[in-house]
Structures are given as C-alpha cells and as structure tokens.
Amino acid sequence: MHTSFWQIVALAIVQGIAEFLPISSSGHVVILATLLGVTPEQFDVVELNIFLHLGTFASIIAYYWREILRLLTEDRRVVGLLVLGTLPAVAAALILKATDLDQMLESPLVAAVCLLATGGMLLWTSRQTGGDADYRKLPWLQALGIGVAQAVAILPGISRSGTTIAAGLTTDLKPQQAATFSFLLALPAILGAVTWEVIQRVRDVEAGPQLSLGELLGGALIAAVIGYVSIALLIRVLEKKRLHYFAWWCFAVGGGMLIYLLAR
C-alpha cells in the first residue's frame, strides 16, 4: 500500500481520539500531518479533515442514539437548548471571519498557549464534583453559558469537550449528564464546521489533489470507531474523577511546542 494510506490511518486515529478526549483536536491533525511529511502533492488535508469530522459525527450518533431519538419525541425542549447553545459559536466564527482574525486559528503559537490553558482548566475541573441535575431540565441561561464555553473552544488548543463539560459541572449537572449535553451540543457544531469546510473547498480553485472515495470513507470509518471508544473512555474517566490525567498531556504538548517555536 502507498505511503498516504498509512498517513490517512494515523490522521484518522488522532482525529478520533482528540475530538472527544479533552486534549483539543484542533491543531493535532495539522501538526501530525506536518510531522508525517504530508505534502499537497500527496493529498489535501482539508478534504480529508471533512470526512474525518463526518466520522466523529457518526460516532456521537452511534453512542447517543437513544438520547437523539428522545430529542425527536419527548425531549423536544432539549432541541431548543442545543440551538441556543450553538449560537455563541456561530457568532464567534462570523466575527473571526469578518475581522480576518481567523488566521490565528492556524497559529502554532496560539495552539501552544491554549493547550497550556486547557491543561490548567482540566486540573480545575477535576476538583469539581458537579451536582445531581439532569441536562433535560437545564435552565436556558445556563445552556447559553455552556454555549459560550464552546465558542471559546474555537481557538486551537482549547478543548471543546473539556470546556463544555467544565461549564456543565458548574451548573450542578451530574458528570455524565454534563458529558451527554456536551456531545449532543457537538452535533450542530461539527455539522456546521463540515458545511463550512465544504463551502471553502468549493470556492478554492487551487485545492490539492483529491483522494479516492475509498480512502476518504476508510479514514471516516476509523475516526468513527476510535471516536466511539474515546467517548466511552471519557465517561469512565469522569466517573472516576481522573480528568486531570489529560492535563499532563496538554502541558507536555503545549510546552513542547512552545519551546520548539521559541528555539527556532
């Protein structure tokens, strides 16, 4: 098999892990692609990233299909909470685009500093016990607050799952309930990000060479399977109150990247 196959597998595994574990997927795929020596002549990372996100989208559907079915029947109020919680991220994305500040989303320096911030947040979150509240009864204002936390996670290096779960714990949600709302909130966020990437790709007349449909679907499948396992792992970590374990990874990667950038 040609070299790009193994590069796709590696990128898909990283996407499946980092999308849901609180270590921030933003930047990880790009960093790994650089380390693997992926070039535009081999394949377009943006194109692959679209399908990898579709894979992690599928893993949420597979893990939370019961909750999603209830959204369409008895838990319709939660749909409103998810819509409200998504608005801050949409507003943040539009503001970044309108002010040309979206270039900072590709900055390795910003990613390094934000990874260190994520590590600190995880240490703080590990000390939060949460309460006994159910996400289906979450007040509207608190849902908006969790949405603001998700909007901050647009920055590379800030964990979306980490920030939204941390915000959920401050509203007295049970740890599992906070995780469930976090991942349900990810559905419109991931779908919106994929739609945006597709639009950008259509407009990009200089896009790199395309991968075959089999390679793209293969990457998506790997990301979906790994993503499903990652969700299950995070739930167990929350139950055992060991979220701080991931902080040390963020410190190591963020600190290592910062040292590398300053030493160049």
pLDDT in tens, 37-78: 665 555 556 667 778 888 999 999 999 999 999 988 888 899
Q: Is the pLDDT of residue 1 over 50?
A: no
Q: What is the pLDDT of residue 168?
A: 92
CB 77 within 8 A of CB 243: no
CA 78 and chain centroid, separation = 21
Which residues of 173-226 form beta strands (DSSP E)?
Answer: none
User: Average model confidence (pLDDT) for the chain?
Assistant: 84
Contacts of 225 (CB under 8 A, 6+ apart): 16, 59
Each residue's pLDDT tens digit, 168-201: 988 889 988 999 999 999 999 888 877 877 776 6
Is 143 in a helix, a strand, or coil? helix
- 3-state helix vs strand vs coil in the chain, percent to 5: 75, 0, 25
CA gap 167, 159 in Å, rounded? 12
Read off the DSSP letter of residue 101: G
User: Given this model, what pLDDT does residue 206 score?
Assistant: 58
Least confident range from 42-56, 83-97, 134-148, 151-165: namely 42-56
The pLDDT of residue 42 is 55
Q: Regarding predicted confidence, which is higher, 226 or 212? A: 226
Question: Is it the case that residue 20 has pLDDT exceeding 50?
Answer: yes
pLDDT of 93-143, one tens digit each?
A: 888 878 877 677 767 788 889 999 999 999 988 777 778 889 999 999 999
pLDDT category, 88, cuts 50, 70, 90? very high
Q: Are 155 and 114 in contact (CB under 8 A)?
A: yes
pLDDT score for 238: 86
Q: Which two tokens stand for residue 64?
A: 């939370």
For residue 65, the model assigns a pLDDT of: 93
Per the rule left: phi > 0, alpha: psi between -120 and 50, beta: everything else, 52 is alpha
Q: Following CA atoms 251, 258, 56, 229 in sequence, which dihedral angle do they give, to the nearest 10 degrees? A: -30
- State pTM to two decimals: 0.84
pLDDT of residue 223: 93
What are the two backbone dihedrals, phi and then psi, of residue 139, each rounded to the nearest 5 degrees?
Answer: -65, 150
What's the confidence (pLDDT) of residue 207?
A: 54
